[in-house]
Amino acid sequence: MSDTVPRPEPFDPRTDPAVLEDLRARLRATRWPDAPEDAGWSLGTDLDYLRELVAYWADGFDWPAQEAALARLPRFRVPLGGLGIHFVHARAAAPAGGALPLILSHGWPDSFWRYAKVVPLLTDPGAHGADPADAFDVVVPDLPGFGFSDRPTGPPLDSVAVAGLWAELMGVLGYERFGAAGGDLGSHVSRYLGLDHPDRTVAVHRTDAGLPVHTGDPAELAPEERAWMADAMTWGAAEGAYAAMQRTKPQTAAFGLNDSPAGLAAWIVEKLRSWSDCGGDVERSFTKDEILTNITLYWLTGTIGSSMRMYRANAAIAPAQLARRVEVPSGFSLFAGDVVRPPRAWLERTTNAVYVAEPPRGGHFAPFEEPELYAQELREFFRPYRAKAAG
């Protein structure tokens, strides 16, 4: 490891118009599949909806405007572990030495996009009707192989390795102690920050506990834990085909998804609909512009394949790692519309769970679906740990 401290550099990408013209040409040339009459979303992405979305993507969606909006976030890249890591670094609006450093980790199928709405609510709570003393210095990295972070050219990195990179990133930014929060893959990364860097991670907040893994005697589990595991198996049988593909043969799917923007949109929008609190209408949770901003980030960066490979890496994590208990203070906000919501007994079995809340709205993408509620949850949970971070 070099003695030279990596230096973050400002990052403000602008897409070549020729790249956008190629995208539009591909969209207009989509070779559409057939679908049974009235299939709707029952077999996967609805054909009629995707036709509508693709038509708007080709002829109505204004990517340069969305790119400019994302550029209002202070964004950087820094070399870490042989990879260029892209991240948002937004400091508290009125720092007085009390802002808590907080690293937010996203999941799949998204990127730093997941937290785009919530960053100003966290850095400047006073401007949004909350206590200014609850301000955070916010860091939102793109996971390796996602968004504008480099794609690993060798074996994909698992959540344990990414947690190590994030600890290094926070050190580069001058944060000795910090809070960690995340959902989906980011929940795993945040968990390993608490497990492997407990001297630096003052507390961990998560919106899920992942899918259950228990290698002991099922009789040890409470009835609600056994019921949750059964529910998770049922969910996996009905909804888990994507994960089986991504943790076993991700490269096979990557050929089609990286070549066809309509195919990419189908793969992603079905998850936005299934996992959000939208009641079956994806545009109750996301506008078309918001959906397409997320998908266009995948298209322009060519990262659908590399993002899926992280599932393969995580599937190889040793069971002993999965069985470790998080001892740093842990909080959970289990949003009403999320999938596979764990019982409190499981959270207390696997973590030092000091905070469990159940916000009434929001799903798997809660920071984007319900940014005000999500920000409120983070302020509430981390409030007791601010002095610990400063000490």
Point out the residues that are catalytic: 184, 311, 364
CA angle 315, 317, 318 (to 5 degrees): 125
Which pair of tokens denotes residue 202?
């003052």
Strand partners, 178: 201
CA angle 254, 340, 189 (to 5 degrees): 60
User: How far are the Cα atoms of 39, 283, 391 from residue 49, in angstroms, in the given order?
Assistant: 12, 11, 53
| Cβ contact 164:109 at 8 Å | no
Neighbours of 43 (CB within 10 A): 10
**CA pair distance 80, 170, nearest whole angstrom:** 11
Which pair of tokens denotes residue 387?
């002095």
| Cβ contact 270:45 at 8 Å | yes
**CA pair distance 248, 122, nearest whole angstrom:** 38
Centroid of chain to Cα 12: 21
**CA pair distance 302, 298, nearest whole angstrom:** 6
Element housing 167 (H / E):
helix 159-172
Which pair of tokens denotes residue 46?
């609805």
Q: Residue type at 200?
A: R
